Structure 1
Amino acid sequence: MTTSPTVDHYQQILGLCRPLPPVHTAVVHPVKVNVLTAIADAVAAKLITPTLVGPRERIVAAAAECGTDISGFELIDTEHSHAAAATAAELAAAGKVQAIMKGSLHTDELLGAIVAAASGLRTERRISHAFLMSIPTYPKPFIITDAAVNIVPDLPVKADITQNAVDLWRVVFGSDRKPKAGVLAAVETVNAKMQATLDAAALCKMADRGQIANAIVDGPLAFDNAISAAAALEKGIVSPVAGDVDILVVPDIESGNMLAKQLIFLGGADAAGIVLGARVPVILTSRADGLRARLLSCALATLMAEARRTGQLK
């Protein structure tokens, strides 16, 4: 994929989905206007074929309020949001849908149904969230992870978070080169009193030993060194990642969430959110998301589902 700053990466990623069939997606508890609108937009873009899962009367009322015709969509009536999440997980485990989309329910309620031992959707990996970002001031799209699921990840969880992001990057951008993952901390040196720096050093060695595959990992890196070659040079940092990062691995959910939202709301970044590590991709959208963010999230799910279907991902 082209990485010129003059290229609209959003359109490029959507373009990757055009040859693919829409992905069958269970939309969980779509009882609000903004969710029904997002579904209609994704259907119009030929990204998803939705199955609406939730209380029938509330779904029909929301569709009528926003003028969305849902007569052609499958609708599975459930009593409440918890039952809707469980039903969506069952549909995915049975292979009846290839993706799940969050509607009007709490993220932890949805993910709880997905990671339950009986769901059939767990893998050997910890699930994690990734934001795919595109911003005019950086020459290529990049991933921030984890900014929404794992609160204070330890080293094994950070390894899974990193590997999930690497897999996403390779599905979207190809396998002709290894993505460069920068493990962020407040400083770029290892400090025994700062756990983030110790974890960063360990992740680098794990990548060297093949415990994190298909990536070049370096850290600890402060944010300026990760994204600016000039900043890294000024501090004497010699690194194949510094200034050319594809993936930013953050220390915890708070730092990742703040970083991502600063880039979105102050930096004008396009951002797509997706949960990885389960047997199906999970589309996470926010009420604050615009059309581009919603469609980009659906596009990532379409690409990940296709990669799993064709065996590119196990």
Structure 2
Amino acid sequence: MPDRESVGEAGRHEKYERLIERAKQVLPMATIVAHPCDETSLRGALEAAAMGLIRPVLVGPRQKIEAVAKSHGLDISSFEMVDTPHSDAAAARSVELIREGRGELLMKGSLHTDELMKAVTSSTTGLRTARRISHVFVMDVPDHAETLFITDAAINIAPDLDTKRDIIQNAIDLFTQIGLGTPRVAILSAVETVTSKIPSTIDAAALCKMAERGQITGGILDGPLAFDNAIDPEAARIKGIQSPVAGHGEILVVPNLEAGNMLAKNLSFLARADAAGIVLGARVPIILTSRADSVRTRLASCAVGVLLADARRRAAAIKDG
């Protein structure tokens, strides 16, 4: 059986290729890479640098990073390195470098996600903003016309209504700021009717009303929608659902982390989709990659982060006159 990377090559995931090509038009973005102490994370940063997407600063135990580079034939001689004793210190120092203005992107290395996010979410020294921090999978599904955003499948375990509002707004802002237009936002549940027996349907209805009242802006919302009638026009037609979103969802908002994680992994392992990952709501975009990611997925995660950081940079320049 061919591996996932060869399947991806055969499928020519054009949606990711377009994102990467657009990001290559931007000057390489200064990127703080936290604890790149295995081959996958170090090679991913170097490949993105070779592609012209990022300018990495490697933060972690110098001897360990150098040993990994030497054992896998990776040349890190041209990159800045910040020595720290261990992964906890690497996470803390990486966040500190962002606060000092040394980088416009933060990239996860081989440390655990919780370890990095603990430093990011610190109330005193972290990268919090007024917006709730959330995660988006940017998914390239073969034979599906739309790029699918799935949120939140990695950060917020059981979000309440206010948190879901921020999760949706973060995803809409990402979608629009990287130049994909006005998103159709499908708020998912098990059914497409509102019932007190399934609380996520009530949340979906409330979120749609919040959008009508201007509490969520920039996207077209509908929900509750089941997964089939959120992405398949024929399923929506059979159910008699008429809306601009039904059958054409681009941002899929899941009820909780468990549902989102299972949905994203089902698409990855059964539909052979690629799942680029990015964390939003912090001072800078955070590139969140997995050891199982393909080369293209890692590059796409960087590309999304670069395009978002560039949009923020241009918006700030306009604001400053």
For residues 254 and 143 of structure 2, what CA distance do their matches in structure 1 show?
Answer: 20
Give the match for residue 90 of structure 1.
Answer: 96
Aligned counterpart in structure 2 of residue 298 of structure 1, from 299, 302, 306: 302
**1:136, CA displacement in angstroms?**
2.3
**1:85, CA displacement in angstroms?**
0.7
For residues 94 and 134 of structure 2, what CA distance do their matches in structure 1 show?
Answer: 19
Which residue identity is paired with 1:170? T
Give the match for residue 137 of structure 1.
Answer: 143
Aligned counterpart in structure 2 of residue 23 of structure 1, from 29, 33, 49: 29
**1:147, CA displacement in angstroms?**
0.8
For residues 230 and 274 of structure 2, what CA distance do their matches in structure 1 show?
Answer: 20
List runs of 5+ in structure 2 lacking aligned partners.
1-10
Aligned counterpart in structure 2 of residue 123 of structure 1, from 121, 126, 129: 129
**1:298, CA displacement in angstroms?**
0.4
Which residue identity is paired with 2:298? R
Aligned counterpart in structure 2 of residue 251 of structure 1, from 242, 252, 255: 255
Aligned counterpart in structure 1 of residue 199 of structure 2, from 195, 201, 207: 195
CA contact (8 A) 2:119 2:126 kept: no
For residues 243 and 173 of structure 1, what CA distance do their matches in structure 2 show?
Answer: 22
SS of the aligned residue for 1:16 comes to: helix
Give the match for residue 152 of structure 1.
Answer: 158
**1:84, CA displacement in angstroms?**
0.7
Question: Does residue 1:103 correspond to 2:109, yes or no?
Answer: yes
Which residue identity is paired with 1:229? P
Question: Does residue 1:171 correspond to 2:177, yes or no?
Answer: yes
Aligned counterpart in structure 1 of residue 167 of structure 2, from 147, 155, 161: 161
Give the match for residue 60 of structure 1.
Answer: 66
For residues 78 and 86 of structure 1, what CA distance do their matches in structure 2 show?
Answer: 10
CA contact (8 A) 2:13 2:140 kept: no
TM-score w.r.t. length of structure 2: 0.93
Query: 1:17-69, CA deviations, whole angstroms, 9 ceiling, x for partnerless residues?
Result: 12211111111111111111111211111111111111111111111111111
Aligned counterpart in structure 2 of residue 12 of structure 1, from 4, 11, 18: 18
**1:249, CA displacement in angstroms?**
0.2
Question: Does residue 1:42 correspond to 2:48, yes or no?
Answer: yes
Give the match for residue 280 of structure 1.
Answer: 284
For residues 233 and 279 of structure 1, what CA distance do their matches in structure 2 show?
Answer: 42
CA contact (8 A) 2:172 2:219 kept: yes
Aligned counterpart in structure 1 of residue 242 of structure 2, from 238, 242, 263: 238
Percent identity between the two aligned chains: 55
TM-score w.r.t. length of structure 1: 0.95
CA separation of 1:120/1:106 partners in 2, compared to 1, >3 Å: closer, same or farther?
Answer: closer
Which residue identity is paired with 1:250? V
SS of the aligned residue for 1:25 comes to: strand
List runs of 5+ in structure 1 lacking aligned partners.
none
Structure 1 residue runs of 4 or more that deviate by more than 4 Å after TM superposition: none
Which residue identity is paired with 2:200? A
CA contact (8 A) 2:20 2:303 kept: yes
**1:120, CA displacement in angstroms?**
5.2
Which residue identity is paired with 2:21? G
Q: Which moved more, 1:132-141 or 1:59-68?
A: 132-141
Where do residues 209-248 of structure 1 align in structure 2 (5 Å cutoff)?
209-248=213-252
For residues 173 and 257 of structure 1, what CA distance do their matches in structure 2 show?
Answer: 26
For residues 260 and 135 of structure 2, what CA distance do their matches in structure 1 show?
Answer: 10
Give the match for residue 6 of structure 2.
Answer: none
Which residue identity is paired with 2:303? A
Aligned counterpart in structure 1 of residue 265 of structure 2, from 261, 276, 279: 261
CA separation of 1:312/1:210 partners in 2, compared to 1, >3 Å: closer, same or farther?
Answer: farther
**1:174, CA displacement in angstroms?**
4.0
For residues 260 and 142 of structure 1, what CA distance do their matches in structure 2 show?
Answer: 10
**1:159, CA displacement in angstroms?**
0.6
SS of the aligned residue for 2:289 comes to: coil
**1:245, CA displacement in angstroms?**
0.8
**1:95, CA displacement in angstroms?**
1.1
How many residues are matched?
308
